[in-house]
Amino acid sequence: MIHGLYWEEHGSGPPLILSAGLGGSGNYWLPNLPALAERHRVILYDHRGTGRSDRTLPETVTVEQLGDDILALIEGLGLRSATIIGHAAGAAAGLAAALTAPGRIDRLVLVNGWSAPDPHFLRCFETRLALLRDSGPRAYLRAQPLFLYPANWMSENAARLAAEDEAHLAHFAGAETYEKRIAALAAFDVDAHLGEITAPTLALAATDDMLVPSNCSTRLAEGIAGARLATMPWGGHACNVTDPETFNRLVLDFLGE
């Protein structure tokens, strides 16, 4: 543990920290781990309040705190700097870390991320919170894949998703944790500061993401000097899970430049 954060590493090479989305689990990246670890020292970690990390959260959670946790990992591992691949909440955390300590971030890969609240994903967050409050964790987790995956992929992977529902329920971080994390994401707004990001950046979006509109990634690419936009035509919000081959190729091509 580093500052209460569970972490593990795989492979060798330039350090690469993978930061997951709302669920916070490092296991989210397992479909991508073998390809990324061939060329990099890959560090997976569970966000604070989730998974195997310290489950204690402050009264108010901010994305800046999530970014500070990434910087604490870099410091605790004795690294000068690292590349960050962040998905959604993890992308926001990567942006926050890059604004706080630009010299510690080598590159940024922002997957289905955003720089300011978007009306569509705020509506989705409100819907998910209503399910959690009114119907409980099982209903919340049962609905979660609807926001993450394309319909055809869900149909073809129904048994896998059913098993994951039970696993997620067994390790559920608690309603209060998700209330705090969603509030942090809904409040995150660094749009006016995108010009201060100095790390080479790839904004990667799935155009069929039904949770975070792909125009949020377009905005990231427009606002960060020299940033590149890459799109996947299929894959949904969790495009690195549904189409890991395309995702891995786009990311490794960017990291290899």
State the maximum Cα–Cα separation within the chain, in Å, rounded to a whole number: 49
125 neighbors 183 (Cβ within 8 angstroms): no
Instruction: Dump pLDDT digits (tens) for 142-183.
Output: 999 999 999 999 999 999 999 999 999 999 999 999 999 999
Tens of pLDDT, residue by residue over 172-183, are 999 999 999 999
Residue-number span of the structural domain to which 78 is assigned: 7-255
Q: What is the band of 257 on the pLDDT scale with cuts at 50, 70, 90? A: confident
> Is residue 2 in some structural domain?
no
Q: Count how many domains the chain has.
A: 1
Residues in the chain: 257
At which residue do the structure tokens 């987790």 appear?
141
Residue 117, pLDDT score: 96
- Alpha helix (H) residue ranges in the chain: 33-37, 63-76, 89-100, 119-135, 137-148, 151-156, 158-170, 175-187, 215-223, 239-242, 244-255
Whether 194 maps to a domain, the answer reads: yes
The reply to whether 124 falls in a domain is yes
User: Where residue 72 sits, what CATH number does that domain have?
Assistant: 3.40.50.1820
CA end-to-end span of the chain, whole Å?
A: 33
Q: Is 55 within 8 Å of 177 (Cβ atoms)? A: yes
pLDDT, tens only, 180-226: 999 999 999 999 999 999 999 999 999 999 999 999 999 999 999 99
Indicate whether 1 belongs to any domain: no
